[in-house]
Structure 1
Amino acid sequence: MAPHGFVERLAELARVGEPFVSVTMVEAVGSTPQDTGSKMLVTTEGLSSGTVGGGKVEHKAIQHAQAMLADTSGQAPVHQLVEWNLQRDVGMTCGGVVKLFFETYNHSDWQVVIFGAGHVASAVTSCLGQINCHTRCIDSRSEWLDKIADRDRLTKIRTDDLPAQVAALPSDAFVLCITMGHGTDRPVLAEIFRQGRTFPYLGVIGSRAKRGVLVRELVADGIPREQAEAFHCPIGLPLGTNEPGEIAISVVAELIQERDRWRGKK
């Protein structure tokens, strides 16, 4: 039986999109510290809920789960079944054997962060909702965020300080700046470059002329030119009209193309 609060904590972690591993003891033979069916949840910070026995075996299991979460190559295993001899593999005096099943959640999900919640950003968010993707939409305008329908794997963040959100972005996120305009896109870009953050994809909506202005202003702000030029603008594949829905399809198509390239797919 799962420990009290386990299911509730699992649901909470799944809802907010935090990467975690569910660990289940599927078999326990001989002298072992816990029974078959025991469970725990592990995040990047460590044990979050439950137990598979405590002591050395649990410590090793937590380290194994965290190592799975630390692999951001896009090719990390989603599930793993391991068998450990407690004496040989874990260093315990008891001679039992345990089999543990590790299941990752949110870790292999594609992460897309959108700064902005206007017409195009809303259309991109809606388009991403049709595929296996966790989306984070950030804007200062609650009335625009409220127009975007709530759903699983969508986090809406209302803040007056968009650049302050940069530090909390996952390193494997695909990041889009689709804010009210140049004046609100540039501070986000500048903060990304000042923090030395690199993402698999960083894009800003706009024309080639806008890109030139952004690069000049970033360089004037002290960002090295090579770094200041490290973003996509315009974004999206060259197809369709300027209608928000068609722009969104072109943008998401390019994101999928870049995601597959990043993951090493042909």
Structure 2
Amino acid sequence: MKTIVEHIVDSLNEQHEIVTATILHKSGSAPREAGTKMVIRKDTSIEGTIGGGTLEAMAMQLAPEVFKTKQSSIEDIELTDDDARAAGMVCGGEVSVLLEHIDALDISQLNIYHKAKELKTVGTDFIMITNISQTNRRMSGKHKWICTETELFGEEDKEVQGIVRELRENFYHVKFHLHVGKNRYMIEPFYAMDRLYIVGAGHVSQQIALLSKSLGFYTVVIDDREAFANKERFPSADEIHVVSSTYEGLLQEVGIPPNSYIAIVTRGVDKVVLEQALRMRAKYIGMIGSKTKRNYVYAELLKEGFAQQELDVVHCPIGVSINAQTPEEIAISIVAELTQVKRS
């Protein structure tokens, strides 16, 4: 599954210029959140979506003028109640959309997007910063920057350097937003693809892997039994790791990066895995089992020096409550919880 950054670079390589439509702000019952982006090519083909229906149609109607003038613009699009009902919503709203002209002949701009694709390929998290004060005129690549935890790419700019310092204070928790200072900037976090590590390769894990992959998670399965952790049982998994029977040293053996999702569904080594997961700065940790089992594991970890505050972040019993009983139902409840965390 290609990311929007890959679609942008590929489209620039094929057609030399594109228009991106990005939702900057919404009010009422607009279909998609701020930060949602789509690519519009000159041949009217698209990648991604900003919600379909009237909103998408209007963005596409405005795109030819952007191609003609090569000038980016911000458009306020009003959705009527009829538009909303056609999209399955209760009432309408207003959406502010940035239509940005991106030209491969602008070497600075092309380099920024190639750098973005390069960072995506190696799994490096980054934030793109775009000066949108210059809309209704040409926006060059000199108005766009990329920052990682340690590097900044783009033209030297004192105001942007100040913004970067602020972003790095809480780097992994930056949400899409507009920064208003001397200029107005669009702040877009591009974190590595959501990675789910399923520890344990039983029947429930099989069902989780099928669902998580279909929802776009990079899915990794871990177990100490090669007879269970293999491609025949997990054809959709992106990675499968057979580890030592003690499950110790998961971080070193598998290399679980920060901001990952960890679902602990082992056959009896949950405490060992949870102890490591709590030190991994994970975005989500879920552990299967009853409240009795949870209380026992937590009590042991408290004795070892963990704080209750650390344990409170764990989702246990794992999954949303749907009275699930079969492996398929349990997997649905777990993946629903993963989606809930992802979208919150």
> In the aligned structure 2, how far is the partner of 1:159 from the partner of 1:227?
32
Q: Which residue of 2 aligns with 1:162?
A: 250
Instruction: Assess if the C-alpha contact under 8 Å between 1:114 and 1:177 holds in 2.
Output: yes
> 1:12: how far off?
3.3
> In the aligned structure 1, how far is the partner of 2:282 from the partner of 2:276?
13
Partner AA of 1:188 in structure 2: V
> In the aligned structure 2, how far is the partner of 1:140 from the partner of 1:5?
41
Match of 2:117 among 11, 28, 31: 11
Instruction: Assess if the C-alpha contact under 8 Å between 1:219 and 1:225 holds in 2.
Output: yes
Q: Residue 189 and residue 145 in structure 1: after superposition, are their counterparts in 2 closer, same or farther (change >3 A)? A: same
> In the aligned structure 1, how far is the partner of 2:251 from the partner of 2:184?
45
> 1:249: how far off?
0.5
Indicate the SS of the match to 2:145.
strand
Q: Which residue of 1 aligns with 2:127?
A: 21
Partner AA of 1:61 in structure 2: V
Partner AA of 2:178 in structure 1: Q
Task: Please list every run of 5 or more consecutive structure 1 residues that lacks an aligned counterpart in the other structure.
Answer: 29-34, 85-97
Partner AA of 1:11 in structure 2: K
Partner AA of 2:115 in structure 1: R
> In the aligned structure 2, how far is the partner of 1:27 from the partner of 1:258?
33
Q: Does 1:202 align with 2:285?
A: yes
> 1:72: how far off?
6.8
Q: Does 1:61 align with 2:160?
A: yes
Q: Does 1:37 align with 2:141?
A: yes
Q: Which residue of 1 aligns with 2:210?
A: 126
Partner AA of 1:175 in structure 2: I
> In the aligned structure 2, how far is the partner of 1:83 from the partner of 1:226?
40
Match of 1:46 among 148, 151, 164: 151
CA deviation digits over 1:5-53, x for unaligned, max 9? 544432233345533122345677xxxxxx9323432112222x4x22x
Instruction: Assess if the C-alpha contact under 8 Å between 1:139 and 1:159 holds in 2.
Output: yes
Q: Residue 81 and residue 224 in structure 1: after superposition, are their counterparts in 2 closer, same or farther (change >3 A)? A: closer
Q: Larger RCO: Structure 1 or Structure 2 (Cα < 8 Å, ≥ 6 residues apart)?
A: 1
Q: Which residue of 1 aligns with 2:333?
A: 250
> 1:204: how far off?
0.9
Indicate the SS of the match to 2:229.
helix
CA deviation digits over 1:125-169, x for unaligned, max 9? 4323444x654635256883643536xxxx747474315468842
Partner AA of 2:258 in structure 1: L
Indicate the SS of the match to 1:139.
strand
> In the aligned structure 1, how far is the partner of 2:281 from the partner of 2:113?
35
> In the aligned structure 1, how far is the partner of 2:219 from the partner of 2:168?
20
Identity over aligned pairs, percent? 23
Instruction: Assess if the C-alpha contact under 8 Å between 2:212 and 2:219 holds in 1.
Output: no
Please provide the CA RMSD for this pair: 4.2
Normalised to the residue count of structure 1, the TM-score between the two structures is 0.59
Match of 2:178 among 80, 83, 90: 80
Indicate the SS of the match to 2:124.
coil
